[in-house]
């Protein structure tokens, strides 16, 4: 990838979202359908969604209200009726809007043979109808229609359509994904080292945004209080050892997740469509850089590395998959830890091998309060992996799915995610549905 392509990718992916991104996408689809239906009455609402969308919206708190679930997210989007704020659509809700959303009765249909990121909302009434479908990316409308007239019709990004060139947008997405598949850790580090630091000012803004929600949650109880409990009152000014710094780094990211999984209405800058991944690849580096007394430029370059490695890993699996995103994001963080500690590309590759040899297989069982636990655990592993790598300690290809180097390990990890964990999602959702 060229430098301009790296920057364009980062700017496209690092956008704000309010609350969990799957409910936000569902709300956005609902808002778009209402936008298309205009002022016509709604007599019937049908929501079709993939297993992963239903799973990730089931147990997570929605911003500014005490409601949960994909149907409520869609209903709130319908009430808002405007797509201007995109994934921050639920940033402001009134009691009147919440009560109105509760009156919207919708049918939920589990849609098979669609991308893992898929939600479609159909509204009808008084002889009129509208449909809006989001798939492939959290804010990508792949289909829109009004009264049977098709306004947008793009591929859904299923395996069958990946080579389709029906649209300029799809072709661009496929080129971007293909380029990321070819990117190696050495390429990412080389870019981070040479890019004009002024070009990374938006990363500074991302760290600042994510810090606000984390630091708020370190002082106020949310969810399981993982971040607050594990930080145990420490701050970036009080840590005295590397181990304490790593612990606080993990606590920062976990605290942010505690808050957003509980529905706190503060924005997060995402990575790979995920707020939790966005927290994981930014906040720990801020904490460690403060402890190491690194300047802002070094922090921004390190965060650039973690962001891009996180995106490169996502390109090798589905955005919503059975493999926990906190784990793949923490691989990027571990590499960036090595960077901040003065390590080499070879040691970054070692950190990847340590992570793949350690936590591969950690499953995603939806967005909910325990995401903070997984983030904390993955970041503790990231610290261990980085420390071992700095001592030139890492497993090789003799160890299970670990490869000769980090890049090969990532390839094997991709196979485990796409081939080996194929049936995990259906099993997990089946268990979750049994408890409803």
pLDDT of residue 177: 52
Q: Give one DSSP letter per residue of 315-369, joined into a string.
A: HTS-SS-SB-HHHHHHHHHHHHHHHHTT--HHHHHHHHHHHHHHHTTPBP--SST
Question: Taking 80 as the threshold, does the pLDDT of residue 356 lie above it?
Answer: yes
- Mean of per-residue pLDDT scores for the chain: 90
> At the fourth CATH level, which superfamily is domain 183-427?
2-methylcitrate dehydratase PrpD (1.10.4100.10)
pLDDT band at residue 121, thresholds of 50, 70 and 90? very high
Mean pLDDT, to the nearest integer, of 318-340? Answer: 90
pLDDT at 92: 83
Where exactly does CATH 1.10.4100.10 map onto the chain? 183-427
Check residue 163 and give its pLDDT.
39
Contacts from 295-299 at CB under 8 Å and sequence distance 24+? Answer: 296/204, 297/197, 298/340, 299/207, 299/340
**pLDDT at 436 > cutoff 90:** no
- Provide the percentage of residues in the chain whose pLDDT is more than 70: 94
Which segments of the chain belong to CATH 3.30.1330? 16-161
pLDDT, tens digit, 9 for 90 and up, residues 140-152: 999 999 999 999 9
User: Residues 249-253: what's their mean pLDDT?
Assistant: 98
Residue for token pair 């420390």: 387
Task: Pick 19 or 354 by higher pLDDT.
Answer: 354
How much of the chain, in percent, has pLDDT values that exceed 90? 66
Q: What pLDDT is attached to residue 137?
A: 87
Q: Which conformational region is residue 3 in: left (phi greater than 0), alpha (psi within -120 to 50 degrees), or beta?
A: alpha
pTM, two decimals, is: 0.84
How confident is the model at residue 249, as a pLDDT?
98
CATH class entry, domain 16-161? alpha beta
Secondary structure of residue 118 in the 3-state scheme: strand
Mean pLDDT computed over 161-185: 57
State the Cα–Cα distance between residues 332 and 348, nearest whole angstrom: 9
């Amino acid at each position: 990838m060229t430098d301009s392509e790296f920057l364009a990718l980062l700017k496209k992916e690092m956008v704000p979202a309010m609350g969990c991104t799957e409910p936000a996408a569902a709300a956005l689809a609902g808002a778009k359908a209402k936008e298309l239906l205009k002022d016509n009455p709604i007599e019937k609402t049908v929501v079709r969604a993939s297993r992963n969308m239903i799973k990730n919206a089931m147990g997570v708190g929605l911003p500014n209200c005490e409601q949960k679930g994909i149907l409520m997210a869609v209903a709130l989007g319908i009430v808002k009726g405007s797509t201007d704020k995109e994934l921050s659509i639920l940033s402001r809700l009134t009691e009147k809007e919440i009560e109105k959303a509760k009156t919207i009765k919708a049918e939920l249909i589990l849609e098979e043979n669609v991308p893992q990121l898929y939600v479609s909302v159909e509204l009808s009434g008084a002889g009129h109808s509208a449909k809006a479908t989001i798939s492939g990316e959290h804010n990508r409308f792949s289909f829109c229609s009004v009264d049977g007239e098709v306004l947008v019709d793009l591929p859904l990004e299923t395996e069958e359509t990946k080579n389709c060139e029906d649209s300029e947008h799809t072709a661009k997405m496929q080129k971007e994904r293909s380029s990321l598949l070819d990117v190696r850790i050495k390429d990412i580090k080389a870019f981070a080292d040479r890019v004009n630091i002024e070009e990374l000012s938006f990363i500074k803004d991302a760290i600042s945004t994510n810090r606000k929600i984390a630091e708020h949650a370190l002082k106020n109880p949310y969810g399981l209080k993982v971040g607050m409990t594990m930080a145990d009152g420490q701050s970036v000014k009080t840590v005295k050892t590397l181990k304490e710094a790593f612990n606080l780094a993990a606590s920062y990211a976990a605290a942010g997740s505690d808050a957003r999984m509980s529905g706190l209405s503060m924005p997060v800058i995402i990575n790979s469509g995920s707020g939790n991944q966005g927290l994981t690849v930014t906040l720990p580096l801020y904490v460690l850089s403060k402890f190491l007394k690194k300047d802002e430029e070094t922090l921004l370059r390190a965060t650039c590395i973690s962001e891009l490695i996180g995106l490169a890993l996502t390109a090798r699996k589905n955005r919503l998959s059975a493999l926990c995103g906190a784990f793949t994001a923490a691989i990027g963080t571990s590499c960036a830890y090595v960077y901040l500690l003065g390590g080499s590309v070879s040691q970054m590759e070692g950190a990847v091998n340590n992570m793949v040899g350690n936590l591969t297989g950690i499953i995603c069982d939806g967005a909910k309060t325990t995401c903070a636990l997984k983030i904390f655990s993955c970041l503790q592993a990231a610290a261990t992996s980085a420390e071992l790598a700095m001592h030139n300690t890492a497993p090789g290809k003799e160890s299970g799915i670990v490869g000769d180097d980090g890049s090969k390990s990532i390839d094997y990890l991709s196979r485990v995610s796409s081939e080996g964990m194929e049936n995990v999602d259906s099993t997990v959702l089946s268990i979750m549905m049994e408890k409803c």
